[in-house]
Structure 1
C-alpha cells in the first residue's frame, strides 16, 4: 500500500452505460499497474469479472459474490478491501495506489460509502465516478437508480462518444448539471485522454466547481441553494445538517458547499452522499466567491428544507448558479486543506 494512502473509486452508472468498457480500457494503460479491482454484479454469473481479467493481466481482481452491492454489502466488501490492501505486492510492482470498485448498474452508492467509512485506518481518498451514456443522455433519469448514481458522483464521465454526434458531447456538461451541478465532468472526444481523466488521481487539496444553472428541471429531483442567513456557529450547522438528513432520509442525494462558521476564520468544505457525511474540512481561503450549500434531493422542495431546525439558519431557494467573480459562468475555488 502507498504511504500516501489509497485512491478508492466507486465506479457506478446505469445498466449498459459503459462502465466495464471504461474500466477495461483503463486497465490496458501502463499507469493501471498499481491498481486493484473489485467487481460486483447482480446475479450468479460474474461476466464483468471474466471480461476484466482478459484486460487486467496480473492485476488483482476480486469478485463479490453476494449479489447487488447496494443490498448485501456488509462485511464482505470490508474483508475484500482488507485483503487487497494487506496482500504483498509482486516483486518490482511498487505499492498499491488505487482500488476501483465496479458496482452493478442497479446499485445505489450510499450503502457502499457507509461501509467504506468504517475503514478509516487505510486512509483512503474516496470518490464516486459515474458514467453518462451519450447515446441515451438523461433519458434514463426516469430510473431512481440512475439519478442516485449521478447525484452521488464526484466525477461524471461521458461514454460512447464515438457513437454520438459531436454536438451531443458538447452539450453533455449542461445536461449533467440538470442533475448534479457540483460534479467534475469529463467530456473528452479522444478515448484515451477521457479514460486517463476518468481515473486521474483525486484532487487533494480539493477543487470546488459549481456548474451553471440547469436548463431543464427534473420532475422528481430538486436542486436547492442554502445560503447562511447570518453568522453560523458550528454546533448549529452540525444540527442543521443532521436534521436535513433526518427529514429527507433516502430522498437526500447530495450536499456540497462552503460554510463560514464563527469558530474559524476560513470556510468549511461540507459534503455528503446520501446521508453519509465526510468530515468537514477547513480550507486555506479567506474570501471564497460564494458561501452556501448545494442540495440535491428527490421528491422534496425548498420550502421543506427551509423549515429544518435551527429555524432561519439558512435561506433555502431553488438552485441558481452563483455569479462568478472571474467573469466566467463557472466559479472555481482552488483551496488547500488546513493541516
Structure 2
C-alpha cells in the first residue's frame, strides 16, 4: 500500500518504437523496489515472478526478485490501479511510490488520463512519457496516433540509439519539432535513461523559450504560440482555457505555458494533455521566461483560437504546416 504521493507515468509510443524495451529497463533498475508496472500483456515483458495475491477481482499480480510489482490491466483501468495501490506491501519493501502504465502502440493518452480523474483520492502526480524511435524518426508522424502521443508527452525518450547513433545527435531538434515544450531525453547510455525519464515530476516547467525556426512534423498538426498582452485576471485566463478546450475538443492535444495573473505574485504554470488540465500552480524559478502559452492541436484553422472569448487578451503566432506541391514534402513557418 502507498504512503504519500505516487508518481504515475503513462508510457506511450507508436507500434514497435521501443516501449517494451524501455519498460524492461524500468523493471531491472536498482530503484524498482518502490515501483509497480501495469502492462497490457504480461507476457510482453517476460515476467518471472511469483503470484503476489489471489483474488476474484481479475487483477493478476506478480512480484519480481527486486521487489517490483507487476500486473495486467483488468477490464477497468481505474479499478486495476486502485487495487494495485491498496494491495498490502510485502515486509521489507518500501511503500509504493511510482507506477508505470504501458499503453498499446495505438492508444491516445487523453482517454487514459480521463480515467485517472476518478482516482484523485490517491494523490498521484501524472506524467506522459513517449518513445521516439530513432530508426524511423519523423516517418511515423503522419500517423494520427503517433502525433497525439508525442504532442501529449511531458518527456520524449529517444530509443534504439544502438541502431541509429547518428540520429541520436539530431534527436533533440527532431523532438522539439514534434513538441517544443516536452523534455527531450536522448542518451546512448541506457542505464542513464530510466532515472531521467521516470524521475519524480516535481516540476514540469517550460524554462526555455520556444524556438521560432522549427519545421513542421505533421501535415495536420498546428502549433500556436500565444503571448499574453499583459497581466490578466485569473478568471479571464480560466475562461479562455475552458473555452479553448470546449471549442477544440478531441482536436486539442496539448497546452503548456506561463501566465502572469493579477491574483498571484509569480507566474502560473498552466498545462493540459488533451482536455485534461492540471491544477495551475505558481512557478518558483528565479528567472522565468516571458509569459507564453503553447497550444498544439490537430485540424485547426487560425481564427478558431483567435475568436475564443474573452478575446483581445493574447497575441498569436502560428506554425502552420503546408505541403510543398513540387516536392511532396512539408514546410512550415511562424506567422503573426
Aligned length: 304
Q: What is aligned with 2:73?
A: 64
Shift of 1:206: 4.0
2:134 touches 2:160 (CA, 8 Å); kept in 1? yes
Q: What is aligned with 2:268?
A: 268
1:302 touches 1:317 (CA, 8 Å); kept in 2? no
Q: Secondary structure of 1:197's partner?
A: helix
Q: Secondary structure of 2:25's partner?
A: helix
Matches within 5 A, 1:30-179: 30-40=30-40, 47-48=43-44, 51-53=46-48, 56-57=64-65, 59-66=68-75, 76-164=76-164, 166-179=165-178
Q: What is aligned with 2:55?
A: none
Deviations 1:161-192 (A, max 9, x none): 0000x331010111111110000111001111
Q: Distance in 2 between matches of 1:287 and 1:59?
A: 39
Q: Secondary structure of 2:15's partner?
A: coil
Q: What is aligned with 2:19?
A: 19
Q: Distance in 1 between matches of 2:175 and 2:279?
A: 26
Shift of 1:200: 2.1
Matches within 5 A, 1:199-278: 199-202=198-201, 204-210=202-208, 211-213=210-212, 215-217=214-216, 218-278=218-278
Q: Secondary structure of 1:189's partner?
A: coil
Q: Distance in 2 between matches of 1:289 and 1:33?
A: 38
Shift of 1:232: 1.1
Change (3 A) 1:53 1:117: farther
Question: 2:3 aligned with 1:3, yes or no?
Answer: yes
Q: What is aligned with 1:186?
A: 185
Shift of 1:229: 2.1
- Point out the more displaced range, 144-153 or 117-126: 117-126
Q: Secondary structure of 1:94's partner?
A: coil
Q: Secondary structure of 2:68's partner?
A: coil
Q: Distance in 2 between matches of 1:195 and 1:285?
A: 25
Runs (5+) with no aligned partner, structure 1: 67-75, 321-339
1:133 touches 1:158 (CA, 8 Å); kept in 2? yes
Q: Distance in 2 between matches of 1:312 and 1:52?
A: 56
Q: Distance in 2 between matches of 1:111 and 1:291?
A: 29
1:181 touches 1:214 (CA, 8 Å); kept in 2? no
Runs (5+) with no aligned partner, structure 2: 50-62, 321-336
Q: Secondary structure of 1:6's partner?
A: strand
Q: Answer 1 or 2: which has greater strand percent.
A: 2
Q: Secondary structure of 1:140's partner?
A: helix
2:272 touches 2:278 (CA, 8 Å); kept in 1? yes
2:207 touches 2:288 (CA, 8 Å); kept in 1? no
2:258 touches 2:293 (CA, 8 Å); kept in 1? yes
Q: What is aligned with 2:301?
A: 301
TM-score, structure 2 length as denominator?
Answer: 0.85
